[in-house]
Structure 1
Amino acid sequence: MAVHALLGATGNLGSAILRCLLSSHGQIPDLRINILVRSKSKLLQAFPQLESTSSATITIFEGSISDEDTLKACINGASTIYVCVATNYASRNVDIAVTTAARLVAALGQLRNDRESEYSTPVVLFNRSMALNSDVQLPVPGFIKRFTVFAIWHIYEDLLKAGAVYAGAEKDGLLTCITADGPGLMGPNRTEATGYKLMERGKASAALNYADFGIAMVELGHRREEFGGKVVGISATGALGEIHNHLLK
């Protein structure tokens, strides 16, 4: 039985991943989706079809990442965990990515202790930023990239710290991390995918639709044997809509 745990499903990326998982339900035997959200009512407002979906397939956990018992219940037995808890607001005290990583790793550590030999190492899909990728380049002048990174450095620093937490947990055998780096994300209300490609080197597009990023994240989870432990860039191959977020975030 494939169990996918989605941490944060009401944001733009989390919603895109959930739409992809729901559409693939008939293609993946015994698919289960565990969803952790702060507001169940907000989730059901965005996805009313979840109310008519079998409770054996969809389980909604209402709470925050700081709720240890709820987080642990959500990820228990998950083969794939999508981390979609993030912020676009730069401040000196931003720590949402590293805090989420630390709490997720702690919860997985408890599950490993509880389940012992029955513990199965999950794949964690970590959404970062292509601005931090040295092997996949954005088609923008270097000085623009440097200025942008400087301007919102606190967000990037938080992401780097989170990546270090996942790397340490992976070294300990607690999880397998796949880091997904996207360019500027756009079209939060657009549900139609227009095309994307996975790449470890080369030049990427300047922007990518959320719908494509969500599908790419699910594909990375399916191809864990190939991409486990790697940093993967995701680039657009089709038409793009109106830019929603900053070019490098």
Structure 2
Amino acid sequence: MSAPRVLVIAGSDSGGGAGIQADIKAVTAFGCHAMTAITAITAQNTLGVSDMLVLEPALVVAQIDAVLTDIGADAIKIGMIGSPAIAEAVADRLSREDARVPLVFDPVMVATSGATLADEATIAAFERLMALATLVTPNLPELALLSPEGPEALATRARAAVLAKGGHGEGQRLIDRLVRVDGSSETWIDDRIETRHTHGTGCTLASAIAAGLAKGERLDATVAAARRYVRAAILAAPGLGRGSGPLGDPRRRALD
């Protein structure tokens, strides 16, 4: 029996907390096979990003080609893009027939540490990727840049569902809101978990959702399952580093 296949297009985090490393962990935890196309290599830890090398668009596309022409994919997740040229090249490649699968786009702009991971030109190039997406998962600062009018306007413009993540909001209640293209919506409200160990929450959530979609689950059901997983992973954080530490493995915590 073959496992559902998830292709992740994103940057590498040398500290293992976010990016491709977090994506692989989440996809694997949901019982899927993770494949990758790396867009950038970052030198980072829990304190921030100290250096970064953005790869050539042709090499990013070559990675995608290598995966799709042999193994194939049941869902795709896009995270850190790195440059407008990569955004355009990836959009061109994912417009082809063998990439017409559910696509989750996490419009990564700023790392948890505060490091900027997308300039204005790259953000402008996000439009083509959003147009290919099944779901776009901005946090509140990202949503403010992409659509000051709110998630409904973004869903209408992109013709994709939008999950507005409320982790950057104020107060002790965290509100996530899923807005579909038809205007219907669903809201999840939870108590905020007070911790500094939240590095990679956005990457983990988007990849967990992609894994659920790869298995053919409904969007609302997979969002709910992914949210539960992220909250459990925060509670299972191993407490590494002096800054924003990585999430833990809630499955391992359950065995301890």
TM-score normalised by the chain length of structure 1? 0.48
